[in-house]
Every structure is written in C-alpha cells, then in structure tokens.
Chain A
C-alpha cells in the first residue's frame, strides 16, 4: 500500500467541528424526574407523559442485549445528558430567524438551507441535537395535504394521529434501546401523507449531535394512507469527541393499502479515531409495517460512520401482495464495528421481499450482516431473494454473515446467496494499464460493487454516498 494512499484512508473526519451554540440541557442521568422534566419542557399532553413513563418503567426491568457481534464498553446510562436543546429565544417563522451560528454549521456540512430552498426541491427538517430548528417548504407540502413537521409540533397539532400510530410498529417493549428511546426521545420528524396523495417533493431530515456526552434520541414516524407515496431522506453527522456518544433512534413506518414509502439514510456519524477512541454508538430500531394490500416499503442505507452500529431496518409484510425491500452498503474502517442487516417477516399472501447487502471492511474493522427471513404459515406464495456480498480490504479485518431463514409454508421460495471477495491486484493492474490511476480504479471497483444499492438512492444522495465511500476507502489496496 503506497503512503499516498494511506494518507487518503487516514483523512480526518471532515465534519468534526463543535459549534459553540448556547444550549439548554438537563442534568446527567436518567430517572423518572428526568423523564417528567423532558415532557414538561416540551409542554406535552398527559397521554404523552404516560407513554414515556410506561416505557421508562419497562426499560428499568430490561438488560442490555449482548447477542450482536460487537464488543464495546457499555455506556453508563447515568452519565448521559438526555436532553440538550439549543436555547430557543422565540418561535421562528422562517429561516432568517434561525440562529446564524446554527446555519453556519449546516453551511460547513454542505447543506446550506438557503440554497436548498432556492435550488433543490427538497424540504428539510433539521434536527440539531434534539430539537427541530427549522422546517422548510412547509407551505408547499401543506397545500398538497402532506404533514411534515417536527415530532413536538405533531404532538401539539395532530395528537390523534400521533396517538394512533406511535408505538404501533415498534412498541415500547420491543427492545432495550427502543424502550429507552420511548422514554426520553426529545424530538424527531413526523410525516403523514393522506389518501391518494403523492408527496410533491422528497422529504429530508438532517441529524447532528453537537453537545459532548449528549445522547440523541429521535423518533421518526411516517404514515402513508391508501395509495399515498413518500420518499424520505435522512442524513447524520456528529462532531469529534473523545468520549462515546449514544444514538438510539426509533423509526416507525406505516403503509396502508397501495401505499409506498421509500426511506433512505446516509449515516456518517463520527467513527472514532484510528485507535477506536471516541465515536458514536449507533443503536437504532427501524421498522416498517406494510399494513395494507399491495403496500410497499423500501429501505436504503449507506452506513459509513459510527464506532459501533447495531441496526436492522425491518419490514413486516402483513398486507397481501405487499413488498419489502432492503438495500444496504455498510463500510467499516479502522476499529469500526457494524452489525447490521434486516428482518423480513412474511405474514400476508404473495408477499415479496428483496435483500441486497454489501459490506466492505477495511483496516481492523469487523463488519457483520445479520438478517432474518421469516415465512409464517399464513404467507402463501411468499418469495424472498437475499444477496449479501462482502469485500475485505486488508488482512486484519473481518466479514461475517448470519442469515436466519425460517420457513413455515411449503409454497415459499427463499433464496439466499453470499460471496466474499477482495479487490484483486490483477483488477488494479488492468485499470493501470488502461491509463486509469489506482485511486480512480478503486473508486470505480467499489462503486461497481455497490451499484445495486446506489441505484436505489435518490440522485443527490447517490452522489454524496459515492463521494463518501471514495474518501473513506480509496487506495486501501496495494
């Protein structure tokens, strides 16, 4: 491996700046008072507080899961700041009123809201630490009938919708981190697309963890009524700190008859330095429910960051003929560890699911695919195709595959395939003798390897994802 190339791999985390914005935070630790305080700060109704307390009491009875193929020092849950909000001076009507310091942060991240408003047809709900600062394009969406707002606003303005769907896909009893999230989540996004409406633009949220020792617990709920369609994008970054930060989000999707939800993520949380110091623990529960007939939920994720990732976007295919899809690129380098994959639970008749997972591991990292395909007895004619490919770069990394396949119906057709490969010296040689330098060659090979997934990403995300992989990986083969 040439030294130039090594330099590129070792390129420092570009988004690791801390912005000095006054923030309002609760004391460290968690107890019932903290949960009540979060609820009170957010001026929540009684039922919301009850939901939180129920979740908290359940969480106290649970222990942290240990089955994932990752090793890390467990976070001390009493040493985390559960609520940290930029100090709100008054309600904001437009972007101009947003704290210029915050806007500057986004500027550095390369998503200037002003520009986006002008140039891109994307509405952004930016979640800064835990509170939603600005939501753009609200009006245009409102005209179309689409509700896109922060979770806090949703609880205030659409309580009956939130009450109906909150926890319906990921109940507070689901797992340790989902319970914790249900108790302390501070904000998030809420999307509701009414019957027959196709969202006129792609919706997007940008998450960023700013305060040291803060946890980010956001909650996303997307509901598509009959025949509705929405495509939702989510991006994540965090500044560089020496300590580990916890990110435990919950995402719930509900698709009714003939509805379609497309959910894309580019995750680039801070991964820690090359010795594995610092970095985000990303423990996320994402699940979609295909409630109605012919509904469709599609997850696309590009996971490049976080010290430890533990994430399984899943689909419950309840409606007949419903479709679940999962496209994933997970890249780990240095000491990163990722245990990610999906669950497809087939309940309805003629349900179909596709899983394409590409894992790339480099440095000393460990990359695991863990997936479950479950065909219930009722799922007549179910079909699943899974493909999970791994690429290893270097001698000291690891790639692991744990596919669980459980079939209870003989009419099911389930296929699982997996391969492992590396970038061969002969491939590089071929590019070189065609006049393409090593960096470009590797970028092209990686992009080819991930093509099936990038194809599923919305345009601007695909470009960002390709660049991200390029930065993180170029030249790691010698």
Chain B
C-alpha cells in the first residue's frame, strides 16, 4: 500500500451513522493513478500521490461574523458549515429553510429524509471506483445532507461551505448528498475555501439526485488555499423532465481536479455543466466530465472556459455519451481556452461517443490568445494596453459567470477575473 493511502487511512476520524454505512465493507484495493493511466495523463498525479497527509487540524474558534464575511449574503439562514471536515452546528443556520426540508447531518433528518438519503448515498457516485473514491468511502467521517421533499420550493439558496482553516498537510474527505424530490426546486452553493491553511487535501464527493420535474441550480466553487489539493467528484442523476443547472468555478488552490458526472436518466431533461477555470503561478485546474445521455429527448449544455497565465496548466476532457435508442438528444459542448503567458499550457480532449442516429451533437475546442485587432481597437478608444487586456479577458470569463443566478457570487467571480487580468496587464 502506498504511503499516501496509508497516511489517509491512519488520519481518518470517527464515522457518524451515515458515514459508517459508507465504510462498511469498503476496502482500498485500487492502485493510485499514474501519468500512464489515460484519465490522469495530463493531471500531474504525482504531485498528489507523492504526498502524505495527517489527521485534520482541530477547528479554530470562528464566529458567525467570520462566516458572514465569506458567505454570499443571499444564503443567510440556509448554511451548512464544515470546518476542517467537521460539521459546526454553531455556525450553521437553517432558519430560512421551509418546513420539511432536511439539512445537516443524519441526526437532524426525519425518517423520510433519512430513507431518501440512504437510498441515494453512493448510487450515483459509484460511477467512479478508483483509489480516491474508495478512500472517500473509507475515510469520510460525516455526510452533509440536503433533502427537499416533493413539491417544496426553497427560495433561499443553500450554502454548503467546506472551510479549511489553520494547520497544514492534513486531509479531509467531504461527502455531500442532495436529494431533490419530484417537482421541488432548490439552489445550492457548494463552496471549498481555504483560509490560513496550506498544503492540505480535500478529497470530496458530491451526489445530487434530481427528481422528476425538479429543478436544481448548483454552483461549485473551488477556492482553496495555498498549496492545497482539491479533488472533487461531482455527480448528478436527473429524472424525467428534470432541470439541472450547474456552474463550476476553479480559482485558487494549487492542484485542482473536478470529475463531473451527469446522467440523464429520464426523458426530456436539461443538464448544464458549465465551468470556468482561472489559473496562474504553478497551479493546475483539471476538469474531466462525463455527460451520459441514456434516454431520448435530453438536452445538455457544456461550456468550459480556461484562462491560463504564468506557468499554469489547464486540462479539459469532456465526454458526451449518447446511448443507443436515446434519440432526439441535443448535446452541446464547447471548450475555449485563453493563454496569457508564454509558459501557460492547455491540454484538451472534447470527446463524443454516439450510438444513436437521430441526434444533434456538436462539440468544439479553441485555444488562442487575445486578438491583436481587438486590443488595438480598444487602445484606439483610449484604453491603456493593460485595461484593454483586462477588459477582453473579463469578457471572456463573463460568458460563463453570467449563467450563475446568485448576484453576490457573480460579483465575486467578476472581481476575481478583473483582479487577475490587472496583473496580467
């Protein structure tokens, strides 16, 4: 067994009721990925697999004010806060949630909600079965649950915050499950954020089960701290007529990888898995996605953009599957990359696998730099070269950011984009 796996198993905490279900019978049998495995070729896996991590640091004392400072104000009254992997009931709030909505750990759920969680847990994420998935199952100590019953509309966006605070070289295994019942509606902000912590590793798995005719809007934010590793397995399963709208933004952290898996499991669904990665320094932002259309009349959309500066590296591998007899599927995939520095690097592979003939599928990838004619035009209108560059880069990012429905998150990401481009100038 490798040092990394051993260190993670040694450092795991005690499991609560749901996490014990995951741990039961789980063994870490898979090998760690190497650059030779096709799915990890460009992900520099050695940066992660050569490390070892200890047990998570104890949570420092934080006040509600600290959380207010970083959480979107729209989510007040609907927050699940985890600090260094441990649920913090003091900092979490559920007052804005309608009656019947289950939010928190398993002990705060009623029987119906607990049943839904138990049915769903592992049912979607089982698509992945590698060492990191097994480690998540074997090491997760708590499971964050959000259960929205049938016909319930949650107006307040729910903020699920995984805050990494203090210490270094430790690991956690966040595990989240969202079950949206039929005809329900909910917005989620899933947030991985580092503060005064470094060199840590979050090995996260999220499952979203979107019931028939339900709507889930989902924003994932990877804003980890210095030298941090974040591996996020974000999975979703859509029922008939379901609508799943998600945007993933990767901003900080040292080594980020998102594995997105969305399965259109009912007819007439809509699924969006857009993404934005902004990397500089020696950072890596990797997105591997799988959009599996198993039923007819499904509609899917993926726009993934990367802005790469410094020595940064962006990787994209998007797979779209259209299964046999899944006719009338409309799948759209576009990956656009902007290289801002001579040492920036992009590896992209938009991949289509189609087994049905009456479908509309298109994919595309572009890699380029800012257009000199556009830069010149803006300068002729009085912008400085740096401003012109900033404006164009910001506009490049805005197309993805605009799909987010929570104003403060939009604003924050826009600021992040312009902060970046100011330095790029």
Chain A: minimal CB distance from B415 (Å) = 25
Residues from chain B with Cβ under 8 Å of A428 in the complex: none
Which of A53-61, A186-194, A197-205, A416-424 faces chain B? A416-424
Does A414 sit within 8 A of B, measured CB to CB? Answer: yes
Residues A396 and B324 in contact, CB atoms below 8 Å apart: yes
Number of interface residues of B (CB under 8 A): 36
Chain A: minimal CB distance from B314 (Å) = 10
A413 to B367, CA, bound (A): 6
Residues B367 and A408 in contact, CB atoms below 8 Å apart: no
A394 to B357, CA, bound (A): 6
Residues B344 and A416 in contact, CB atoms below 8 Å apart: no
Residues A410 and B342 in contact, CB atoms below 8 Å apart: yes
Does B341 sit within 8 A of A, measured CB to CB? Answer: yes
Residues from chain B with Cβ under 8 Å of A401 in the complex: 350-353, 363
Does B361 sit within 8 A of A, measured CB to CB? Answer: yes
Residues from chain B with Cβ under 8 Å of A67 in the complex: 38
A397 to B355, CA, bound (A): 6
Q: A396-B324, A420-B360 are in contact. List 8 more A-B contacts (CB 8 A).
A: A67-B38, A390-B352, A401-B353, A404-B348, A405-B346, A409-B339, A409-B342, A412-B367
Residues from chain A with Cβ under 8 Å of B364 in the complex: 415-418
Residues B344 and A410 in contact, CB atoms below 8 Å apart: yes
Task: Give which listed residue, B325, B342, B350, B354, contacts A392 with CB less than 8 A.
Answer: B354
Does A430 sit within 8 A of B, measured CB to CB? Answer: no
Task: Give which listed residue, B345, B348, B362, B366, contacts A419 with CB less than 8 A.
Answer: B362
Residues from chain B with Cβ under 8 Å of A410 in the complex: 339-342, 344, 369
Chain B: minimal CB distance from A421 (Å) = 8
Most buried by B among A394, A412, A418, A422: A418
Does B382 sit within 8 A of A, measured CB to CB? Answer: no
A263 to B412, CA, bound (A): 54
A458 to B20, CA, bound (A): 69
Does A398 sit within 8 A of B, measured CB to CB? Answer: yes
Residues from chain A with Cβ under 8 Å of B355 in the complex: 396-398
Residues from chain B with Cβ under 8 Å of A415 in the complex: 364-366
Residues B353 and A400 in contact, CB atoms below 8 Å apart: yes
The closest CB in chain A to the CB of B370 belongs to A410
The closest CB in chain A to the CB of B348 belongs to A405
Residues A418 and B357 in contact, CB atoms below 8 Å apart: no
Chain B: minimal CB distance from A399 (Å) = 5
A222 to B355, CA, bound (A): 39
Chain A: minimal CB distance from B176 (Å) = 32
A410 to B346, CA, bound (A): 9
Residues from chain B with Cβ under 8 Å of A421 in the complex: 360
Does B68 sit within 8 A of A, measured CB to CB? Answer: no
Residues A393 and B357 in contact, CB atoms below 8 Å apart: yes
Does A402 sit within 8 A of B, measured CB to CB? Answer: yes
* Per-position 1/0 for B169-213, Cβ under 8 A of A: 000000000000000000000000000000000000000000000
A365 to B366, CA, bound (A): 30
- Classify the secondary structure of B's interface with A: strand
The closest CB in chain B to the CB of A401 belongs to B352
The closest CB in chain B to the CB of A404 belongs to B349
A407 to B365, CA, bound (A): 12
Residues B337 and A400 in contact, CB atoms below 8 Å apart: no
Residues from chain A with Cβ under 8 Å of B324 in the complex: 395-396, 398
Most buried by A among B340, B342, B365: B365
Residues from chain A with Cβ under 8 Å of B110 in the complex: none
Does B356 sit within 8 A of A, measured CB to CB? Answer: yes
The closest CB in chain B to the CB of A383 belongs to B368
A405 to B318, CA, bound (A): 12
Most buried by A among B327, B346, B359: B346
Residues from chain A with Cβ under 8 Å of B325 in the complex: 395
Does B10 sit within 8 A of A, measured CB to CB? Answer: no
26 A-B pairs with CB atoms under 8 Å apart are A390-B354, A392-B359, A395-B324, A396-B355, A399-B353, A401-B351, A402-B351, A403-B349, A403-B350, A405-B347, A406-B348, A407-B337, A407-B367, A409-B339, A410-B342, A410-B344, A414-B366, A416-B350, A416-B363, A417-B363, A417-B364, A418-B352, A418-B364, A420-B352, A420-B362, A421-B360
Does B358 sit within 8 A of A, measured CB to CB? Answer: yes
Does A411 sit within 8 A of B, measured CB to CB? Answer: yes
A300 to B35, CA, bound (A): 34
The closest CB in chain B to the CB of A397 belongs to B357
Residues A400 and B352 in contact, CB atoms below 8 Å apart: yes
Chain A: minimal CB distance from B355 (Å) = 4
Residues from chain A with Cβ under 8 Å of B347 in the complex: 404-407
Residues from chain B with Cβ under 8 Å of A397 in the complex: 355, 357
A109 to B149, CA, bound (A): 71
A415 to B350, CA, bound (A): 12
A396 to B323, CA, bound (A): 10
Residues B368 and A413 in contact, CB atoms below 8 Å apart: yes
A392 to B360, CA, bound (A): 11
Do A414 and B342 contact each other (CB < 8 Å), given the known contacts A395-B357, A420-B360, A422-B357? no
Residues from chain A with Cβ under 8 Å of B353 in the complex: 398-401
Chain A: minimal CB distance from B263 (Å) = 19
Residues from chain A with Cβ under 8 Å of B366 in the complex: 413-416
A408 to B354, CA, bound (A): 30
Residues from chain A with Cβ under 8 Å of B358 in the complex: 422
A409 to B368, CA, bound (A): 9
Chain A: minimal CB distance from B359 (Å) = 6
Most buried by A among B42, B327, B341, B345: B345
Residues from chain B with Cβ under 8 Å of A409 in the complex: 339, 342
Residues from chain B with Cβ under 8 Å of A395 in the complex: 324-325, 327, 356-357
Q: Which 9 A-B pairs have the closest CB atoms?
A: A410-B339, A392-B357, A414-B367, A416-B365, A420-B361, A401-B352, A398-B355, A400-B353, A405-B348
Do A408 and B345 contact each other (CB < 8 Å), given the known contacts A414-B366, A417-B364, A418-B363? yes
